[in-house]
Amino acid sequence: MADNPFAVPVLTTDRLEIRRLVGDDLAACQELFEAIGWDGSRQDRADRAAWLTWTVASYDTHENLYQPPLGERAVVARDGGRFLGLVGYVPSFEPFARLPSWGGIADAGRTMELGLFWAFHPSAQGQGLATEAAWALIDHAFAAMAVGRIVATTTHDNEASVAVMRRLGMSIDRYDQPHPGLQVVGLKRAG
Ligand SMILES: CC(C)(COP(=O)(O)OP(=O)(O)OC[C@H]1O[C@@H](n2cnc3c(N)ncnc32)[C@H](O)[C@@H]1OP(=O)(O)O)[C@@H](O)C(=O)NCCC(=O)NCCS
């Protein structure tokens, strides 16, 4: 469906190709999650296998339903095809209007925003690759999907992720509450 804004095309940058995950990416994904300290147990690996199956199936399902193409994608090197990490669009469902620059309304309820996700293997960090991949998703969201704004969220202690937000030119809000999705929020508007 070439005219569907929610299609999942291969995106390319100077150094990267961002493509759909496939079943054969399981080992690389598990290596990534273990390397960044998110997974370790047998149950974690089973959960990731189920996540990958679901993600691979979701691309066409979302597209066929004209739903936003949520979910992670593989980032591989254009030169040689090495698996480097994951980026993707994620649903961010938080009480954003509590944030200072979103209105500071103390009892605001949750609203849905299009969010960004990024995770790179340590061997692929420190080279600007996460920022480069995130730019591709931002450009695609604004140009192909006509999204008006996009967010990224992380926890107070994730300085590397906040640094990516800054490199992307996002405005940053901090919220002093132990709420994982609202501790640090980056916002970028189209145009
Ligand atoms: C968050 C994460 C993706 C950031 O990765 P990263 O490699 O630091 O981010 P970038 O791609 O923007 O790279 C920036 C680094 O590359 C360096 N760099 C080298 N060449 C560069 C280039 N051409 N352009 C930009 N930066 C470049 C920068 O100086 C910077 O290094 P520094 O932090 O030592 O100053 C990574 O830490 C990660 O995967 N963490 C675990 C997963 C995670 O927490 N994800 C977020 C969940 S909310």
On whether residue 1 sits in a domain, the answer given is no
Which DSSP string corresponds to 76-100?
Answer: EETTT--EEEEEEEEEEEE-GGGSG
Tokens of 59: 């691309």
pLDDT (0 to 100) of residue 2: 56
On whether residue 4 sits in a domain, the answer given is no
Residue 45 CB less than 6 A away from ligand 1: no
On whether residue 6 sits in a domain, the answer given is no
On whether residue 155 sits in a domain, the answer given is yes
pLDDT (0 to 100) of residue 179: 77
Residue 92 CB less than 6 A away from ligand 1: no
pLDDT (0 to 100) of residue 77: 98
Mutation test residue for ligand 1: of 127, 159, 166, the one with most atoms within 8 Å of CB: 127
Cα(136) to centroid(ligand 1), Å: 15
Residue 33 CB less than 6 A away from ligand 1: no
The per-residue pLDDT of the chain, averaged, comes to 96
On whether residue 52 sits in a domain, the answer given is yes
Task: Kindly state the percentage of the chain with pLDDT values over 70.
Answer: 99
On whether residue 114 sits in a domain, the answer given is yes
On whether residue 3 sits in a domain, the answer given is no
Which DSSP string corresponds to 54-81?
Answer: HHHHHHHHHHHTT----EEEEEEETTT-
Residue closest via CA to ligand 1's atom 33 equals 126
> Within 13 Å and on the Cβ side, how many CA atoms surround 71?
25
Q: How many domains does the chain have?
A: 1
Range of the domain at 161: 11-189
Read off the pLDDT of residues 133-186 as tens digits, 9 standing for 90 and up.
Answer: 999 999 999 999 999 999 999 999 999 999 999 999 999 999 988 778 999 999
Residue closest via CA to ligand 1's atom 20 equals 127
* CATH number of residue 85's parent domain: 3.40.630.30
Q: How far apart are CA 154 and CA 52, in angstroms?
A: 22
Residue 36 CB less than 6 A away from ligand 1: yes
Along the chain (191 residues), what's the average pLDDT of each consecutive run of 10 residues? Answer: 86 98 97 95 95 97 96 98 98 96 95 98 98 98 97 97 98 89 96 88
